[in-house]
C-alpha cells in the first residue's frame, strides 16, 4: 500500500512537470504567434505584397527635335514587333518556319531567337522582329491560329523623316552599350535607346525624360496575372534648332553625292540655318539595326559618309583666306587700297619661285582687283611685308584656329601657324617662304567650313564677333541666347568696306573669278570669294611641260574647291561657305553650289526676298570667264 502511494506521488510530479512544460511551450508559441501576427503584422504584410506585386519601370516617350519653324526633324512612331512565348509554342522550329513564310526572318535572327529562348524563362516574350509594316502585321494576325505562342506587340521607335539630309546634324539613337551604363535604371531596360551622335547625343538627357512605373500582380513563378496601377513617365523635352529644314534639304540635294559640305549662317545672330555634309547615311538604319554588309559599305567608302565635314573637315582655305591677309596688311599700314603691285605670273624669294594661278600674270593690281581676280603675286608681296604674326593674329580674330563651341560633338579647331607653333611642333624655324604660302591660304593653315562661314559673317556684319549656334531652345527655354551686340573685333570699318566691295566684284564684275555664278535679280545679288586648295605639290618639271589638269588626275589628287559668300549685297544678312573635296576649281565646283543655296535662302526670307514674279538671271556657262 505504501509502495502504491509512492508510485502515485511520483506519477503526479512527472505529470505536473510535463504539463508545466507543455504549458510553457504553448505559452511561447502563443507569444510568438502574437508577435508575428500583431506586433510584426505590418512588416510581414509588406513582405507578402512584395512577393505578390512587382514594380516595372516604363520607358518615357523621347522628346522631339524640330526646326526653327516647328517642322519635325526627329519623332517617335509606333513600332510593331512580333514576339514569341516559348511555353505557348509546342514546336518552336515549326512555328518559326511558318512565321518565316509570312515575313522575312534572317538566319542571324533565327540564331538569336533560339539563343534567347534557351536563356529566358518560358513565359518571357522573345522579340522575333521589329519595325513590321502594316501589311506584315495583317498577315500575321490573319494566320494567328496557325502560329501558337506568336503575338504582336506595340512599342515606339525613333524616326527621322528626312533621313540622310539631316543625319550629321541630328545624329542617331542606338542600344545602350555596357560601357554606357551609369546606374540609371532606364538604361538597363531592354530595347532602350540613347543618343549616339549629333543633337541626339548633345541633348540626350533632356530628350530622354523620366521613366514611369507599372504595378503588376504576379504568381510564385513570376508570371504576370494583372496590372494593378500605372503611372506614365515624364516625356522627354522637345529641342528646337535654328536649322531651317527646307534650306538644309536644298543644300544636301544641290551637293548630291559629291564629298562636300555647306554652312549657312545668319551674320547677326550666328544662327545656323544649314549645316550639310555629303555623302551621308540613313540614321533610321541604326535604330532598326545595320547589317554587317551595310556597315562595311559605309566605313569603307573613301568619301567618308560618317564624317560631318562641315565641322570636322580641315582644309587649306586657299584664296578664301586672302581677305584676312588684306586686312592684316591694311592694319599694319604696309599697303594702301590704291597701291598697285605688278604681277608677271610669279615672284621670287631667294632660289625659290612662287607662281600665280594665271601663268602670264595679271599686270598691275590694286587691292580690289587682286581680290576680285584672285592674284596670288599681289598677296605674296603683301604677306611678305605684313609678316606671319600679324596674319595669324587677324585670322584668330575672325574665328580661325580655335573651336567655336557649336553644340555638336566632333568640332575640329583647324590650325593658324606662327613661328612659336612651328618651333614647338616641328622643331624648326619659320621660313620666309612659308609666310608667302600663308598669304594665299596654303602651307600649314587649316580651317573648317564652319570657321569659314564665321569668318565671312564677321567680315560683312561690321566686324562683330558673332558665334555660331544651333540650338534655339529646349522645350521653350532659350539656350545660350547671344548678346544683342557681339564684341567688336576692333577692325577699321573703312577696311571692312573695302573688302566687302571687293567681294561684290568677285561675283558681279565681268573680270571676277565667280562672275558665272552671279544672280542678276534685284535684291538677290551676292558677293563672295573663290578658292582652290592644292592637295599635291606641283614640281618644277611639271610646270615646264604643263601642269596636269584636275580632270586628268585621280580623284584623291585633285584640288579642293571652295567658296565663301554673303547676300544680299544691298543689306547683308546671310553668310555661306562651301567646300567640295577634290572638286577642282572653286569657281567651277563650289561657287555655283553656293549661289543656288543662297538664292533659296534669300527667296525664303520675307525681308530680303525680291518682289513676286521677279526672274533670276544667271550667266551662261558658255561665257569665257577666268577660273580660279
Give the sign of the dihedral formed by CA 460, CA 462, CA 467, CA 471. Answer: negative
| Neighbouring C-alpha atoms within 13 Å toward the C-beta of 154 | 5
Q: What is the spatial order of strands in the sheet that 224-231 belongs to?
A: 53-58, 212-218, 224-231
The runs of H, that is alpha helices, within 36-91 are 41-52
Q: What's the rounded Cα separation, in Å, for the pair 303 and 392?
A: 31
Give the sign of the dihedral formed by CA 173, CA 179, CA 183, CA 188. Answer: positive
In contact, 123 and 82? CB cutoff 8 Å? no
Nearest by Cα to 90 from 143, 147, 151, 153: 147
Q: What's the rounded Cα separation, in Å, for the pair 415 and 446?
A: 5
Compute, in degrees rounded to 10, the torsion defined by CA atoms 147, 150, 152, 156.
-140
Q: How far is CA 490 from the centre of its chain?
A: 33
Name beta bridge partners: 347: 354
In contact, 44 and 220? CB cutoff 8 Å? no
Q: What are phi and psi of 578, to 5 degrees?
A: -135, 130
Q: What's the rounded Cα separation, in Å, for the pair 269 and 465?
A: 10
Element of type H or E holding 591: helix 591-604
In contact, 425 and 214? CB cutoff 8 Å? no
Q: Tell me the three state secondary structure of residue 356.
A: coil
Give the sign of the dihedral formed by CA 241, CA 247, CA 249, CA 255. Answer: negative
Q: What's the rounded Cα separation, in Å, for the pair 170 and 160?
A: 9
The single residue of 259, 261, 319, 372 carrying the catalytic annotation is 319
Identify the residue whose cell numbers are 544680299. 568
In contact, 454 and 468? CB cutoff 8 Å? yes
Q: What's the rounded Cα separation, in Å, for the pair 156 and 81?
A: 10
**Has 336 been annotated as catalytic?**
no
In contact, 597 and 579? CB cutoff 8 Å? no
User: What DSSP string describes 285-325?
Assistant: HHHH---HHHHHHHHT-TT-TTS-HHHH--B--GGGGHHHH
Q: What is the C-alpha radius of gyration for the chain, rounded to an integer number of angstroms?
A: 36
Name beta bridge partners: 193: 175
CA distances from 19 to 9, 10, 14, 22, 23 (A): 15, 14, 8, 5, 6
Query: Would you please indicate which residues are annotated as catalytic (active-site) residues?
Result: 319
Amino acid at each position: 500500500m505504501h509502495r502504491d502511494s509512492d508510485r502515485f506521488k511520483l506519477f503526479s510530479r512527472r505529470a505536473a512537470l510535463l504539463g508545466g512544460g507543455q504549458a510553457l511551450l504553448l505559452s511561447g508559441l502563443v507569444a510568438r504567434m502574437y508577435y508575428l501576427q500583431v506586433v510584426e503584422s505590418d512588416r510581414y504584410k509588406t513582405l507578402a505584397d512584395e512577393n505578390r506585386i512587382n514594380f516595372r519601370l516604363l520607358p518615357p516617350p523621347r522628346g522631339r527635335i524640330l526646326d526653327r519653324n516647328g517642322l519635325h526633324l526627329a519623332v517617335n512612331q509606333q513600332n510593331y514587333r512580333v514576339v514569341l512565348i516559348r511555353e505557348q509554342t509546342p514546336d518552336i522550329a515549326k512555328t518559326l518556319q511558318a512565321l518565316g513564310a509570312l515575313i522575312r526572318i534572317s538566319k542571324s535572327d533565327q540564331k538569336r531567337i533560339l539563343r534567347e529562348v534557351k536563356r529566358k524563362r518560358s513565359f518571357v516574350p522573345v522579340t522575333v522582329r521589329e519595325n513590321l509594316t502594316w501589311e506584315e502585321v495583317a498577315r500575321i494576325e490573319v494566320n494567328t491560329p496557325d502560329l501558337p505562342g506568336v503575338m504582336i506587340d506595340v512599342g515606339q521607335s525613333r524616326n527621322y523623316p528626312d533621313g540622310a539630309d539631316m543625319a550629321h546634324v541630328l545624329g542617331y539613337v542606338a542600344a545602350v552599350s555596357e560601357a554606357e551604363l551609369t546606374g540609371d535604371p532606364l538604361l538597363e531596360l531592354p530595347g532602350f535607346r540613347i543618343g549616339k551622335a549629333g543633337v541626339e547625343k548633345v541633348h540626350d538627357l533632356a530628350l530622354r525624360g523620366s521613366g514611369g512605373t507599372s504595378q503588376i500582380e504576379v504568381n510564385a513563378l513570376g508570371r504576370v496575372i494583372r496590372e494593378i496601377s500605372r503611372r506614365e513617365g515624364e516625356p522627354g523635352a522637345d529641342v528646337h534648332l535654328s536649322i531651317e529644314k527646307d534650306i538644309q534639304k536644298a543644300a544636301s540635294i544641290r551637293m548630291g553625292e559629291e564629298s562636300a559640305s555647306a554652312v549657312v549662317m545668319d551674320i547677326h545672330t550666328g544662327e545656323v540655318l544649314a549645316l550639310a555634309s555629303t555623302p551621308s547615311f540613313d540614321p533610321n538604319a541604326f535604330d532598326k539595326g545595320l547589317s554587317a554588309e551595310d556597315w562595311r559599305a559605309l566605313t569603307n567608302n573613301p568619301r567618308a559618309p560618317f564624317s560631318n565635314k562641315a565641322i570636322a573637315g580641315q582644309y587649306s582655305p586657299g584664296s578664301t583666306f586672302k581677305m584676312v591677309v588684306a586686312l592684316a596688311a591694311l592694319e599694319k599700314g604696309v599697303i594702301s587700297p590704291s597701291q598697285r603691285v605688278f604681277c608677271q605670273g610669279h615672284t621670287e624669294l631667294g632660289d625659290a619661285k612662287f607662281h600665280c594661278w594665271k601663268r602670264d600674270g595679271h599686270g598691275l593690281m590694286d587691292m580690289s582687283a587682286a581680290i576680285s581676280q584672285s592674284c596670288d603675286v599681289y598677296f605674296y608681296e603683301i604677306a611678305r611685308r605684313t609678316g606671319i604674326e600679324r596674319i595669324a593674329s587677324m585670322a584668330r580674330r575672325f574665328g580661325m584656329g580655335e573651336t567655336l563651341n557649336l553644340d555638336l560633338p566632333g568640332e575640329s579647331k583647324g590650325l593658324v601657324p606662327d613661328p612659336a607653333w612651328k618651333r614647338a611642333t616641328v622643331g624648326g624655324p619659320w621660313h620666309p617662304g612659308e609666310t608667302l604660302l600663308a598669304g594665299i591660304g596654303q602651307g600649314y593653315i587649316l580651317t573648317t567650313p564652319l570657321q569659314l562661314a564665321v569668318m565671312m559673317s564677321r567680315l560683312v556684319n561690321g566686324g562683330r564677333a558673332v558665334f555660331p549656334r544651333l540650338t534655339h531652345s529646349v522645350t521653350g527655354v532659350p539656350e545660350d541666347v547671344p548678346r544683342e551686340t557681339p564684341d567688336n573685333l576692333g577692325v577699321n570699318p573703312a577696311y571692312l568696306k573695302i573688302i566687302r566691295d571687293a567681294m561684290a566684284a568677285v561675283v558681279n564684275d565681268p573680270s571676277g573669278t565667280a562672275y558665272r555664278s552671279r544672280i542678276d535679280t534685284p535684291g538677290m545679288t551676292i558677293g563672295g570669294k573663290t578658292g582652290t586648295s592644292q592637295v599635291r605639290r606641283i614640281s618644277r618639271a611639271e610646270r615646264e611641260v604643263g601642269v596636269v589638269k584636275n580632270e586628268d588626275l585621280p580623284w584623291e589628287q585633285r584640288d579642293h574647291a571652295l567658296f565663301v559668300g554673303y547676300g544680299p549685297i544691298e543689306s547683308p544678312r546671310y553668310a555661306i561657305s562651301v567646300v567640295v573635296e577634290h572638286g577642282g576649281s572653286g569657281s567651277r565646283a563650289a561657287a555655283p553650289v553656293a549661289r543656288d543655296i543662297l538664292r533659296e535662302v534669300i527667296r525664303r526670307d520675307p525681308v530680303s526676298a525680291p518682289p513676286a514674279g521677279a526672274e533670276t538671271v544667271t550667266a551662261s556657262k558658255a561665257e569665257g570667264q577666268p577660273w580660279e
